[in-house]
Chains A and B, each alone.
Chain A
Amino acid sequence: MKRMIRRAACVALAVLSLGLGSAVAAGEAVDLKPFVANYASLVHASYADTEARARQLQTAVAAFLAAPSEGTLAQARSAWLDARVAYGQTECFRFYGGPIDGVDAAGVEGPETRLNAWPLNEAHIDYVAGDAAAGLVQKADLPLSRESLMANNMTHDEADVATGFHAVEFLLWGQDPGLDGAGQRPASDFAAGDAVRGRRRLYLQLTTAMIVDDLAAMTQAWSPDVADNYRAEFLGLDPAVATGHILSGLATLCGFEMAAERMATALDSGDPEDEQSCFSDNTHNDFIYNALGVRNVCVGSYGAQSGVGLLAVLQQADPALAGKLAAQLDATDRLVAGIPVPFDAVLASPEDSVERAKVQAVVEALMVQTDLLRDVGKALGVTVIVAAE
């Protein structure tokens, strides 16, 4: 079946080359192996960096809880933002059944929804405007533990998120009541001494530790130094299947997660807080680092890790398409960089505002990029699946 697809793609390429005069050597399969191998190393480097930054967040949270002040709170917030820089670049490793969101042989699902779920109904976690007694933090009869948090995570409502980056974000920032700046939770919320604050401190410690452990598991799953992990399985796949996974992750992040879920739907819903990092007003950076993650795979590098990227293999199969993809990445990045800050002000702006038009332009660019990535799949003879969820 796969071979048939590849042959069909070769025929299509041959026809294309006849028609457009591009230089494609029909029938000559591109060697995808170096690309797949470098991808695995790049993913490992990305998660290792994210894990390291999450550990810094954990250290900053510990320092904050040891001596709660506006200064130590600001440092914890800064460490959270820093961890998001790296995490955002890993999101293109989702959507193909890999360790972050797939189900392993033992039937255990990856940690993505535990790590990064949103929209988040913050009243499920702690007090909100209009309900001073809300949330698991104040539910005195619930012993707080990793187990009890998981037992109360998205069980009755998908938005009843108890854990992950955005739970920690809400604990560090509090609700964002308006359009002039992020949430303003006081450091005194975490002062030691009374029962509710004690539970809030424990809640923050637990959720931060869970983030660290889940990211450590991702680093291990992709580590070259661990036997029988997902990396080993991935490198054992037919390179065309592995490449299909890689492209499905990229295209789904662009077309579904970024364009549809986080931008178009938010523009459409009329809800100004319909944004991923609504407490910290960091949503624009989520977009920037998601897009950078896609670029990393195309270029083939993350930090010191560098090797064969998607553009390099595509250059062998279809130079014209490689040129188009490279140009589109540039165009998308330019538009993403121009997303107005804060994002909630865009959502609150009138239907025909310049701000909304700027985000709409990003949506359109990401859809073009998604279709280009589908075309890349055809050019390389691999199956690309793009689905919303």
Chain B
Amino acid sequence: MKTTRYSRSLVVTLVVIAALYVVTHAEPPAAQPADRTRPGGDLTTDVQHAGAYGQSAPNLPTAKLLEFTAGNRVFTTNWVTAPASVKSFDGLGPLFNRVSCSACHLRDGRGQPPVSPEAEMESMLVRLSVPGEDAHGGPLGHPVYGGQLQDRAILGVPPEGRCSVSYSPRTVTLADGTAVELRVPTYTFVDLQYGPLGEDILYSPRVAPSVFGLGLLEAIPEAMILAHADPDDRDGDGISGRPNRVWHTEQQATVLGRFGWKANAADLREQAAGAANGDIGLTTTVNPQQNVGTGQTAAAEAYAQEGPELSEKFLDRLVFYTRTLAVPAARNTDDEQVLRGRNAFQAANCQACHVESYRTGHDPAVPQLANQTIFPYTDLLLHDMGEGLADGRPDFAATGREWRTPPLWGVGLQETVSGHTTFLHDGRARNLTEAILWHDGEAAASREAFAQMSAAERAALIAFLNSL
């Protein structure tokens, strides 16, 4: 190789220019003290309006805004039946739940159950399986209906059917005599178009979770998550914390699960491709087959397309989008009631599962996610939540009584963004108080602590949650 000799002055000049570049272009150092008011670290947004869950990370460089925005376009696109004039967004179905990601995750927020037994599910679906496991230890899909009930279909194809939700009241009386009415859901399958589901059907209704901050959860080092695991409750606190171990389609391996109500998806690419396939009926390089059961294949073949319907380019952008949505800043954190509520949260041992803080790893999928101190209030682990919440449907390592601790960041803005305050996997809780009172199993002691609180203490705890 030819050696080039630079004059010393040129080298000095280059060094000076490089130093100047660093001085003038370096972002402020990320290493700030832990700040609960900035739950997403440098990926925190101060926006508090209805778009609060849909902001890009403020630390993205300008060029990356293009990728984020293109991802948002994919997220909000209403897919149409192929062939259509716009080839990039056709390939809907044949069976599907909704025609876009944002239909369920409206404004990147949480879905809710239908308002009446007659109403269709708008932002919620029902997973299906039969007893047993598939080749990779996952749920064994129904032989005809597959892994979820798809309640919509393209023209000329019958939708699978509909799941109707009705509620009956159950009253819980707190220590101070306050009566709180919970609603207990009953699910009924109606208009089934492909035969009966069978006596041994297992089903799990699930609302669409919010999608902001997910890149930060993906960037938590696995060891930090496993550090909170206590599968056999060796510390005897009544709380286990079990990691789910799920099949990774692309890696063809069993790995830690992080996303979904039962931590049943390993990472955001798997999650996005799975949702595109199951919920919208889109093939990808991850899932090249249409999501249809045997007996429905005729419909699938009639609408088969060459290559993935959701292109690799658009899948990448979609995943980038979900990775870089910012977390809303906490509000009113110095408020006296909020501070008392935080104490009550800790006194009730809520943080045993709703783990407050982590530091993300050095080398995440997107560099801006690195080394952030975050406050998601989750351990991403599975916990037995008792019989009342049990769906009886195992999902990889998760039993029919276990659910993954959902993050609490941003919950106080849910009403602003999503226009409702329903919580839990099937949206049965109409507010945070009901959600807390549904906690059972490993969380029974925390629920009992809440039930023993004075009205003022309970209000403070709710105020704390609403500050997040």
Contact = CB atoms under 8 A, between A and B. Distances in A.
B48 A256 contact: no
Contacts of A259: 65-66
Interface in B25-71: 28, 45-51, 54-58, 60, 62-63, 65-66, 68-70
B107 interface: yes
A103 B48 contact: yes
Interface string A259-272: 11100110011111
B65 A260 contact: yes
Contacts of B86: 269-272
A351 interface: no
A271 B89 contact: yes
B24 A16 contact: yes
A363 B69 CA distance: 13
B66 A363 contact: yes
A282 B5 CA distance: 58
A101 B49 contact: yes
A260 B47 contact: no
A97 B102 contact: no
A271 B66 contact: no
A159 B78 contact: yes
B16 A19 contact: yes
Nearest to A272: B86
Nearest to B75: A158
A386 B65 CA distance: 9
Interface string B398-434: 0000000000000000001001000000000000000
B72 A388 contact: yes
Interface in A83-124: 97, 101-103, 107, 109-110, 113, 119, 121
A140 B356 CA distance: 51
Contacts of B45: 387
Contacts of A12: 23-24
B88 interface: yes
Interface in A348-389: 363, 367, 370-371, 374-375, 378, 385-389
Contacts of B419: 155
A156 interface: yes
A186 B322 CA distance: 43
B73 interface: yes
Contacts of B23: 11-12, 15-16
Contacts of A388: 55-56, 60, 65, 68-69, 72
A157 interface: yes
A370 B60 CA distance: 13
A97 B78 contact: no
Interface string A240-264: 0000000000000001100111001
Interface residues of A, number: 47
A11 B19 CA distance: 13
Contact of A157 (B20, B69, B102, B326): B102
A255 B65 contact: yes
B204 interface: no
Interface string A1-30: 000010000011001100110000000000
A160 B154 CA distance: 20
Nearest to B20: A19
Contacts of B20: 15-16, 19-20
A213 B50 CA distance: 21
B58 A389 contact: no
B100 interface: yes
Given A157-B103, A158-B76, A260 B68 contact: yes
Interface in B286-308: none
B62 A387 contact: no
Contacts of B443: none
Contact of B88 (A16, A256, A271): A271
Contact of A265 (B49, B55, B69, B89): B69
A268 B70 contact: yes
Contacts of B315: none
B362 interface: no
B73 A265 contact: yes
A38 B87 CA distance: 49
Contacts of A272: 86
Nearest to B311: A270
Interface in B348-362: none
Nearest to A385: B58
B58 A156 contact: no
A117 to B, nearest CB: 11
Interface string A175-189: 000000000000000
A363 B50 CA distance: 28
Given A157-B102, A378-B24, A387 B66 contact: no
Contacts of A155: 419
A256 B49 contact: no
Interface string A122-163: 000000000000000000000000000000000111110000
Interface string B87-114: 1110000000000101100110000000
Interface string B136-178: 0000000000000000000000000000000000000000000
A261 B69 contact: yes
B171 to A, nearest CB: 32
B442 interface: no
A156 B106 contact: yes
Nearest to A157: B103
Contacts of B326: 387
Contacts of A103: 48-49, 416
Contact of A371 (B48, B62, B87, B100): B62
B181 interface: no
A259 to B, nearest CB: 7
A72 B102 CA distance: 39
Given A97-B47, A156-B122, A387-B326, A255 B103 contact: no
Given A157-B106, A388-B69, 18 more contacts: A107-B416, A119-B76, A157-B100, A159-B76, A255-B65, A256-B65, A260-B66, A265-B66, A271-B89, A367-B62, A374-B62, A386-B58, A387-B45, A387-B57, A387-B58, A388-B55, A388-B60, A389-B51
24 contacts: A5-B28, A11-B23, A12-B24, A15-B20, A15-B24, A19-B20, A97-B46, A103-B48, A109-B49, A113-B51, A156-B122, A157-B103, A159-B78, A255-B62, A259-B65, A265-B69, A269-B77, A271-B89, A367-B66, A386-B62, A387-B47, A387-B326, A389-B51, A389-B55
Interface of A: 5, 11-12, 15-16, 19-20, 97, 101-103, 107, 109-110, 113, 119, 121, 155-159, 255-256, 259-261, 264-265, 268-272, 274, 363, 367, 370-371, 374-375, 378, 385-389
Across the A-B interface, the 9 shortest Cβ-Cβ residue pairs: A270-B88, A260-B69, A388-B56, A271-B86, A109-B49, A260-B65, A264-B66, A387-B56, A260-B66
